């Protein structure tokens, strides 16, 4: 069985990466969203190991000290992060694990797992991104302006990613990412065991 891949997806707020990732996972049975660990309490309907791995702050700190987290961040006095062991075990089982994380976290993952595939989702233009942010109808002009400044800073980091996909439409963006996953899995270095198996059959 071929190993899966770690696929890291990033992009500025409003680019639609959450929708793209949801569609990618829903339409591809060999793709799964990474389950994060958190120190916050479970909300109604959430299950341990499904929505999150719910652990104590002491446990989370220990995992950080033991280098057991691929990336982590603190938000509203709680920690959130990606457990390394869970991701690597899932990949060994042939799953493509999708991490939807911000730029700094993505670059940290790439340092720890160099074979991880990083994908940056771009808007067609900054004007289109602004239109999408305003289209939400939930944010003030000041907030939209701040998000655009943050987006520009994030887009400047895009050249550090392995691939750039443009989210003109969700379905095309998903198709582009699927093509990337297929190409990555068919790389010669990932097919050496298959080649050996074919040759062993010949010698049997």
Mean pLDDT confidence for 42-46:
89
Quote the pLDDT of residue 151.
92
- Compute the average pLDDT of residues 10-17: 92
Is the residue at 76 inside a domain? no
Q: CB of 72 within 8 A of CB of 54? A: no
What is the CA 109 to chain-centroid distance, rounded?
10
Handedness of CA 170, 27, 160, 183 (dihedral sign): negative
Q: Are 21 and 197 in contact (CB under 8 A)?
A: no
Q: Classify residue 52: in a domain, yes or no.
A: no
Domain assignment present for residue 57? The answer is no
> What does the alpha-carbon distance between residue 90 and residue 108 come to, in Å, rounded to a whole number?
19
Instruction: Say if residue 191's pLDDT is above 90.
Output: no
Quick one: pLDDT at residue 185?
87
80 assigned to some structural domain = no
Q: Is a pLDDT exceeding 70 seen at residue 46? A: yes
On whether residue 51 sits in a domain, the answer given is no
> 32: number of CA atoms within 13 Å, CB side?
16
The CA distance from 121 to 10, in Å, is 6
CATH of the domain at 118: 3.40.50.300
Instruction: Measure the CA–CA gap between 6 and 113, rounded to whole angstroms.
Output: 8
The structural domain count of the chain equals 1
Higher pLDDT, 27 or 202: 27
Whether 72 is in a domain gets the answer: no
pLDDT attached to residue 204: 58
Cα–Cα distance list, 16 to 120, 121, 139, 157, 167 (Å): 11, 8, 16, 18, 7
Mean of pLDDT over the chain: 92
pLDDT band at 201 (very low <50, low <70, confident <90, very high): confident
- Of 3 and 60, the one with more pLDDT: 60
Residue 145 has pLDDT above 80, yes or no: yes
**Residue 28 forms part of a structural domain:** yes
Residue 174 belongs to some domain of the structure: yes
- Tell whether the model's pLDDT for residue 1 goes beyond 70: no
162 pLDDT higher than 80: yes
pTM of the model: 0.86
Structural domain boundaries, residue 149: 6-33+95-203
For 70-87, the pLDDT digits (tens) are 999 887 789 999 999 999
Q: What is the pLDDT of residue 203?
A: 66
């Amino acid at each position: 069985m071929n190993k899966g891949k770690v696929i890291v997806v990033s992009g500025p707020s409003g680019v639609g990466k959450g929708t793209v990732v949801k569609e990618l996972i829903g339409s591809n049975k060999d793709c799964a969203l990474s389950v994060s660990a958190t120190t916050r309490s479970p909300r109604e309907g959430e299950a341990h190991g499904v929505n999150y791995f719910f652990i104590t702050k002491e446990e989370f700190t220990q995992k950080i000290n033991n280098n057991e987290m691929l990336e982590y961040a603190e938000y509203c006095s709680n920690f959130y992060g990606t457990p390394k062991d869970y991701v690597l075990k899932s990949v060994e089982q042939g799953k493509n694990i999708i991490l939807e994380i911000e730029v700094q976290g993505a670059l940290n993952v790439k340092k720890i797992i160099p074979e991880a595939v990083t994908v940056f989702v771009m808007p067609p233009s900054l004007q289109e991104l602004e239109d999408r942010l305003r289209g939400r109808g939930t944010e003030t002009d000041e907030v939209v302006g701040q998000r655009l400044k943050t987006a520009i800073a994030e887009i400047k980091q895009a050249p550090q990613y392995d691939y750039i996909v443009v989210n003109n439409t969700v379905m095309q963006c998903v198709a582009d990412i699927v093509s990337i996953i297929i190409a990555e899995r068919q790389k010669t270095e990932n097919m050496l065991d298959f080649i050996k198996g074919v040759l062993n059959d010949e010698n049997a």
